[in-house]
């Protein structure tokens, strides 16, 4: 059989659907701009302090990253700080996913008085800069006796307005009302309906929210620096690395080597969870 001949209109339509030079150029610029800080941290962290302070600075990696990593381990309690950051980030991300899914399902599918006003209030809180809450949070944690503990770092981030809004928007389309009514007709309670209907449908969004929240807590620098003094997380450890320089100089090779070491677990999480996240998103799109 001869191959089908495409008409000129079909060929032109397929050609027009392909991304153009501008799209590829923007993608390349975005990737380079995103990877440049990480590459620059590794370059400076792989040189000696004297080489890192040269002008112009080096643009290629050196051979001293392992030596700088050993200096990081000798200067701060890096492994303890890493474990504390893992605990805080995991607890906060899990809590945000659980409470945001519950609240998002309630706002999306339950009918109760004040639902729209409550959702509007949640969205309004997203417009308030987080820096404005530093002083009130510090006073509250001081009065509760939680300063210099991991609980002081974790509690303010255990529920987020963005998480509630994100899950509400996703579940409002992913969970059909007919499926909820069918579950209720079968005798399911409200909690069982949520567990058997909303949770499976919202699993892709829950995975994305977990990853984003984990990354947000992992990279948060200001609040741990205010709430902690002796208890170390990665943020406190990196701050102490910046203060180890002699005189008024900062050992940027040491600081950026520690920054690179602190980034490795986050990159590993993206590598391990990336394929599952994409598969979950595609599965949710097909089901929708």
* Per-residue model confidence as pLDDT tens digits over 117-173: 999 999 898 888 888 888 999 999 999 999 989 999 999 999 999 999 999 999 988
On the question of pLDDT at 11 being above 60, the answer is no
> CA 242, 246, 252, 254: dihedral to nearest 10 degrees?
-80
On the question of pLDDT at 283 being above 60, the answer is no
User: For residue 124, what are its two tokens?
Assistant: 């309004």
On the question of pLDDT at 275 being above 70, the answer is no
Average pLDDT of the segment spanning 250-261: 87
Name residue, tokens 């009302």.
Answer: 177
pLDDT higher at 88 or 283: 88
Q: Phi and psi for 144 in degrees, rounded to 5?
A: -85, -5
On the question of pLDDT at 10 being above 80, the answer is no
Percent of the chain with pLDDT strictly greater than 70: 88
251, exposed or middle or buried, with CB in 10 Å at 0-12, 13-18, 19+? buried
Q: What are the domain boundaries of the chain?
A: 77-245+265-287
Average pLDDT of the segment spanning 203-209: 88
pLDDT higher at 15 or 245: 245
d(CA 86, CA 257): 19
Q: Supply the pLDDT for residue 4.
A: 54
On the question of pLDDT at 288 being above 70, the answer is no
Q: Supply the pLDDT for residue 214.
A: 92
* Residue length of the chain: 288
Q: What is the pLDDT of residues 105-117, one digit of tens each?
A: 999 988 888 888 9
Give the DSSP per-residue string, 240-286: HHHT-SSTT---HHHHHHHHHHHHHHHHHHHHHHHHHHHHHHHHHHH
Query: Is the Cβ–Cβ distance between 208 and 277 less than 8 Å?
Result: yes
On the question of pLDDT at 187 being above 50, the answer is yes
Query: Is the Cβ–Cβ distance between 204 and 190 less than 8 Å?
Result: no
Which ranges of 46-195 does DSSP label H, i.e. alpha helix?
Answer: 49-52, 65-75, 78-109, 115-125, 134-143, 150-154, 161-174, 177-185, 190-193
Query: Is the Cβ–Cβ distance between 263 and 38 less than 8 Å?
Result: yes
On the question of pLDDT at 272 being above 70, the answer is yes
> CA 77, 83, 84, 89: dihedral to nearest 10 degrees?
140
Residue in 40, 64, 37 with CA at minimum distance from that of residue 50: 64
User: For residue 112, what are its two tokens?
Assistant: 């109760």
Q: Supply the pLDDT for residue 95.
A: 95
Mention every residue, 6+ apart, whose C-beta is less than 8 A from residue 93: 209, 210, 211, 213, 214, 217
Q: Supply the pLDDT for residue 7.
A: 55
On the question of pLDDT at 98 being above 70, the answer is yes
d(CA 134, CA 271): 33
Report the range of poorest mean pLDDT among 22-26, 92-96, 269-273: 269-273
Average pLDDT of the segment spanning 48-68: 82
Average pLDDT of the segment spanning 264-273: 82
Model confidence band, residue 287 (pLDDT cutoffs 50, 70, 90): very low
Which ranges of 127-251 does DSSP label H, i.e. alpha helix?
Answer: 134-143, 150-154, 161-174, 177-185, 190-193, 199-219, 222-227, 234-242
On the CB side of 142, CA atoms within 13 Å amount to 8
Query: Is the Cβ–Cβ distance between 197 and 179 less than 8 Å?
Result: yes
CATH homologous superfamily, domain 77-245+265-287:
MetI-like (1.10.3720.10)
């Amino acid at each position: 059989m001869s191959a089908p001949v495409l008409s000129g209109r079909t060929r032109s339509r397929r050609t027009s659907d392909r991304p153009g030079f501008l799209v590829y150029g923007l993608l390349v610029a975005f990737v380079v701009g995103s990877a440049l800080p990480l590459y620059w941290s590794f370059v400076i962290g792989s040189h000696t302090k004297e080489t890192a302070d040269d002008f112009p600075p080096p643009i290629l990696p050196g051979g001293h990253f392992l030596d700088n990593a050993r200096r990081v381990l000798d200067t701060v309690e890096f492994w303890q700080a890493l474990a504390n950051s893992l605990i805080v980030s995991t607890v906060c991300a899990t809590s945000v996913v659980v409470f945001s899914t519950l609240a998002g399902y309630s706002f999306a599918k339950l009918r109760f008085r004040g639902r729209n006003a409550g959702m509007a209030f949640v969205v309004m809180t997203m417009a308030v800069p987080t820096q404005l809450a530093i002083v009130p949070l510090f006073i509250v944690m001081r009065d509760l006796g939680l300063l210099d503990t991991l609980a002081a770092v974790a509690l303010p981030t255990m529920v987020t307005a963005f998480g509630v809004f994100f899950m509400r928007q996703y579940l409002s389309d992913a969970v059909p009302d007919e499926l909820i009514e069918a579950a209720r007709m079968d005798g399911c309670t409200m909690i069982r309906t949520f567990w058997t209907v909303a949770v499976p449908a919202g699993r892709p969004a829950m995975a994305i929210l977990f990853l984003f929240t984990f990354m947000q807590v992992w990279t948060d620098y200001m609040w741990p620096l205010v709430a902690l003094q002796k208890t170390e997380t990665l943020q406190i450890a990196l701050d102490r690395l910046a203060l180890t320089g002699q005189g008024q100089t900062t050992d940027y090779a040491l600081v950026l080597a520690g920054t690179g070491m602190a980034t490795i677990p986050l990159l590993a999480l993206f590598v391990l969870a990336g394929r599952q996240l994409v598969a979950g998103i595609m599965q949710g799109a097909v089901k929708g």
